[in-house]
């Protein structure tokens, strides 16, 4: 019976298939974003006992920007740095797997995603151990005089950026690999046949063709990195706190919901602007795979 | 691990060029090996310290070797129930999310319809939203409706952020799907339902399984969103977070590594099967 319905109303089939999933995303993703904005324009305080009231309190936004400008800037600075480092560090490996991986490709990709199978927090705690004051890295860096005797790595911005870079590296390496893997090798060979050196062939042919992977990887790394607060908490100090730390402590600590909501909206807005800019440049179809 | 390009005749193969290529080739290989070492370093540290017998409350310096963390993995109060809760939520959330995601992927790949681009975008959006915003916005939703935080809200959140991953995974398989197989089944008198269950479903089963595993892994690992909507419930990552401030029992490492070994073994099995299938084909 249901089938004859599908038969008669073929146009409706895609909508019926989409309905449950879209409904879930609408109710638990889109609508909450609306509530986040709603909450961000409320005023009042739980401490006074009156709770919050919606008052178009745009002031929340100004005080968020004014009071936490450093944290905002640090978020984008750290995320940007980590993204850049991740790109530079993982591009050669993605290249190596794509062009030299042979039948080991799948295995090597498994190694790339392997860190994901150790809980995020545990991975970051491991970096705490590695970068600890009397740990291996500090001793090594002291020996080659990169840091002074008694210097630290842990609780610095360097440690936070290092942690973020490590934690989101697979998000960079995988899209890079995918776009490199799709490159038709005969194009590179053609360039070399036309007397391009290997290096020139790479710069003029391979790299431009891998740009979709570069952009995808950059977004996939930068977005979670900008909102992260785990690395700044476990590897940094209060002077390296990012906006995620503030949002988290205001939501889950001091219970200042409107301010925290305003900061979340600002963070989301900046990131959305970036994503939409990219969607416009390459089309949503490409973006969503 | 041989390069196709290297075996092809190239114009002007000078000795210098060949030597340069050789060096570069090895530089890249050496670099890649170092890269994988870097990638595995924290995992090795976690594994090693799961056998540590720390003197104080923190498991940061190596003291002495012991098996007891493994044999008494649940000796820390609350750790076992946290692991169980994480597993329970991951199983339910990955099944629901994969179900919803598979249907959506079918619609997106198989049908041209109004609003397809928008749907694609809505599916993509959660993937490009920082977790903290996902968690914060869900929390404001639940707060405004005075919806009690707990098991249900964690489950809702996990399904929400897993759906998009499931859609992307299944879509990738459907795009390369040979529709002639379905047409053949229909020509042979199978109705749409029979075609779907006997032909389509078995062919996309690997993708569905991959989506299930992916959702499971993401759900088990999630901390940020869960932390916002968990109320008083404690999942394993929340347990680790709470523990990290006052003490880091090596049992945390034990569970982390146990999960890692299970997941990697499953993936290795999958890679092995794929390689065998590729060889057979």
Chain B residue nearest residue A88, CA to CA: B35
**Other Cβ atoms closer than 10 A to B61:** 14
Query: Comparing A25-39, A164-178, B64-78, B210-224, which segment has the lowest mean pLDDT?
Result: B64-78
pLDDT interval class at B180 (50, 70, 90): confident
Of the ranges A60-64, A130-134, A160-164, which is most confident? A160-164
Contacts of A270 (CB under 8 A, 6+ apart): A76, A226
Q: What percent of chain A has pLDDT over 70?
A: 91
**Which residues in chain B are contacts of A122 at CB distance < 8 A?**
46, 240, 252-253, 256
Select the residue from A38, A125, A185 to test the B interface by mutation, using most B Cβ atoms within 10 A. A125
**Max CA separation in chain B (angstroms):** 76
Would you say residue B255 has pLDDT above 70? yes
pLDDT at B132 over 80: yes
Phi first, then psi, for residue A55 (nearest 5°) are -135, 25
In the predicted model, is pLDDT for residue B111 greater than 90?
Answer: no
Nearest to A284 among B61, B121, B141 (CB): B121
CB-CB neighbors (< 8 A) of A4 in chain B = none
CB contact under 8 A, A3 and B139: no
Find the mean pLDDT for residues B65-93. 92
**How many Å lie between the alpha carbon of B115 and the closest alpha carbon of chain A?**
10
CB-based contact B1 A100, cutoff 8 Å: yes
Res B10: pLDDT: 52
Can you list the domains of chain A with their CATH numbers? Answer: 1-30 (no CATH), 67-287 (1.10.3720.10)
A120 pLDDT above the threshold of 90: yes
- Considering only CB atoms, A261 lies closest to which of B101, B106, B140, namely B140
Closest-CA residue to A77 (of A222, A263, A202, A247) = A222
Give the H/E segment covering residue A43. strand A42-45
CB contact under 8 A, A93 and B31: yes
The strand pairing partners of A52, in sequence order, are A44
* Cβ separation B28–A169 shorter than 8 A: no
Contacts of B236 in chain A (CB under 8 A): 119
Task: State chain B's mean pLDDT as an integer.
Answer: 87
Q: pLDDT band for position A289 (50/70/90)?
A: very low
Chain B residues with CB under 8 Å of A123 CB are 42-43, 46
pLDDT band at A102 (very low <50, low <70, confident <90, very high): confident
Q: What is the pLDDT of residue A8?
A: 64
Beta carbons of A115 and B143 less than 8 Å apart: no
Q: Which of A266-270, B20-24, B265-269 shows the lowest mean pLDDT across its residues?
A: B20-24
| Chain B neighbors of A192, CB-CB under 8 A | 10-11
Facing B248 at nearest CB: one of A22, A125, A166: A125
pLDDT, residue B1, reads 43
B16-50 core/surface letters (b: 16 or more CB in 10 A; e: else): eeeeebeeeeeebeeebeebeeebebbbebbbebb
Residue B252 contacts A, CB cutoff 8 Å: yes
Residue B281 is predicted with a pLDDT of 60
Q: How far is B127 from chain A (nearest CA, A)?
A: 8
> How far is the alpha carbon of A56 from chain B, nearest alpha carbon, in Å?
17
CATH level 3 topology of B77-248: MetI-like fold (1.10.3720)
Question: Does residue A247 contact residue B132 with C-beta atoms inside 8 Å?
Answer: yes
Taking the C-alpha atoms of residue B96 and residue B84, their distance in angstroms, rounded to an integer, is 19
- Residues in chain B with CB shorter than 8 Å from the CB of A46 are none
Model confidence at A2, in pLDDT bands (50, 70, 90)? Answer: very low
Enter the DSSP assignment of A54.
E
pLDDT band at B3 (very low <50, low <70, confident <90, very high): very low
Mean pLDDT value across residues B168-177: 84
pLDDT score for A3: 54
Does residue A94 carry a pLDDT above 60? yes
The ipTM, to two decimals, is: 0.87
Which chain A positions have a beta carbon within 8 Å of B163's beta carbon?
Answer: 21, 24-25
> Is B1 in the A-facing interface, judged by CB distances under 8 Å?
yes
pLDDT band at B2 (very low <50, low <70, confident <90, very high): very low
When mean pLDDT is compared across A103-107, B41-45, B166-170, the lowest value belongs to A103-107
Out of A222-236, B215-229, B243-257, pick the least confident: B243-257
- As a whole-number percent, the residues of chain B with pLDDT over 90 amount to 48
Would you place residue B134 in the very low, low, confident or very high pLDDT band (cuts 50, 70, 90)? very high
Q: Where are the domains of chain B?
A: 14-69, 77-248
Pick among B130, B138, B163, B223 to test the A interface (most A CBs inside 10 A): B130
Percent of chain B with pLDDT over 70: 94
Q: Which of chain B's residues have a Cβ under 8 Å away from the Cβ of A90?
A: 35
Interface test with A, best of B103, B131, B132 (most A CBs within 10 A): B132
Nearest to A125 by CA among B255, B236, B59, B221: B59
CB atoms B130 and A227 under 8 Å: yes
- Give the mean model confidence (pLDDT) for residues A83-109: 92
Point out the residue among B21, B28, B137 whose CB comes nearest to the CB of A36: B137
pLDDT band, residue A1 (cuts 50/70/90): very low
- Indicate yes or no: CB of A96 within 8 angstroms of CB of B100: no
| pLDDT digits 0-9 by tens, A244-281 | 999 999 988 888 889 999 999 999 999 888 877 776 77
**Which residues of chain A have a CB within 8 Å of the CB of B35?**
89-90, 92-93
Question: Which string of b and e fits B197-219 if b means at least 16 CB within 10 Å?
Answer: eebbeeebeebbebbbbbbbbbb
CB contacts, 8 Å: A102 with chain B: 1-2
Report the pLDDT value the prediction gives residue A69, as an integer from 0 to 100. Answer: 93
B62 touching chain A per CB within 8 A = no
């Amino acid at each position: 019976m249901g089938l004859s319905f599908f038969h008669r109303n073929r146009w409706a089939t895609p909508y019926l298939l989409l309905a449950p999933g879209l409904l879930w995303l609408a109710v638990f993703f889109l609508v909450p974003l609306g509530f986040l904005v709603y909450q961000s324009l409320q005023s009042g305080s739980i401490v006074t006992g009156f709770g919050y009231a919606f008052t178009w309190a745009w002031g929340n936004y100004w005080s968020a920007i004014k009071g936490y400008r450093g944290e905002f800037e640090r978020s984008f600075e750290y995320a940007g740095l980590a993204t850049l480092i991740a790109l530079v560090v993982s591009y050669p490996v993605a290249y190596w797997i794509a062009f030299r991986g042979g039948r080991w490709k799948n295995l090597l990709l498994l190694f790339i995603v392997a860190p994901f199978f150790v809980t995020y927090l545990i991975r970051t705690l491991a970096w705490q151990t590695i970068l600890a004051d009397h740990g291996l890295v500090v001793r090594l860096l002291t020996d080659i005089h990169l840091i002074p005797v008694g210097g630290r790595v842990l609780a610095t911005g360097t440690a936070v950026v290092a942690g973020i870079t490590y934690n989101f590296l697979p998000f960079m390496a995988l899209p890079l690999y995918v776009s490199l893997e799709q490159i038709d090798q005969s194009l590179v060979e053609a360039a070399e046949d036309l007397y391009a050196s290997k290096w020139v062939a790479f710069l003029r042919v391979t790299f431009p063709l891998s740009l979709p992977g570069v952009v995808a990887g950059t977004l996939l790394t930068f977005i979670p990195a900008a909102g992260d607060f785990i690395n700044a908490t476990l590897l940094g100090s209060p002077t390296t706190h990012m906006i995620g730390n503030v949002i988290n402590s205001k939501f889950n600590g001091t219970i200042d919901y409107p301010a925290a909501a305003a900061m979340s909206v600002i963070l989301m807005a900046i990131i959305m602007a970036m994503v939409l800019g990219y969607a416009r440049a390459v089309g949503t179809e490409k973006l969503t795979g | 691990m041989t390069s196709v390009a290297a075996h092809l005749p190239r114009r002007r193969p000078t000795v210098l060029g060949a030597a340069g290529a050789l060096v570069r080739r090895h530089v890249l290989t050496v670099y890649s090996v170092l890269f994988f070492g870097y990638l595995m370093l924290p995992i090795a540290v976690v594994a090693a310290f799961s056998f540590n017998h720390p003197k104080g409350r923190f498991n940061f310096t190596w003291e002495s070797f012991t098996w007891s963390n493994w044999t008494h993995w649940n000796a820390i109060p609350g750790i076992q129930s946290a692991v169980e809760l994480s597993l329970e939520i991951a199983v339910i959330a990955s099944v629901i999310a994969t179900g919803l995601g598979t249907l959506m992927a079918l619609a997106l790949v198989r049908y041209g319809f109004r609003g397809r681009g928008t749907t694609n975008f809505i599916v993509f959006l959660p993937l490009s939203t920082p977790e903290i915003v996902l968690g914060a916005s869900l929390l404001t939703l639940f707060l405004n409706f005075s919806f009690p935080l707990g098991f249900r809200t964690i489950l809702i959140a996990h399904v929400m952020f897993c759906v998009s991953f499931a859609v992307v995974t299944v879509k990738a398989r459907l795009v390369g799907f040979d529709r002639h197989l379905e047409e053949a089944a229909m020509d042979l008198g199978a109705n749409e339902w029979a075609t779907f269950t006997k032909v389509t479903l078995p062919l996309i089963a690997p993708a569905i399984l991959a989506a299930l595993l992916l959702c499971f892994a993401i759900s088990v690992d999630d901390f940020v969103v869960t932390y916002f909507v968990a109320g008083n419930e404690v999942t394993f990552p929340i347990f680790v977070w709470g523990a990290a401030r006052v003490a880091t029992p090596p049992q945390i490492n034990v569970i982390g590594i146990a999960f890692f070994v299970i997941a990697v073994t499953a993936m290795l099995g999958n890679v092995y099967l794929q390689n065998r299938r590729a060889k057979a084909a």
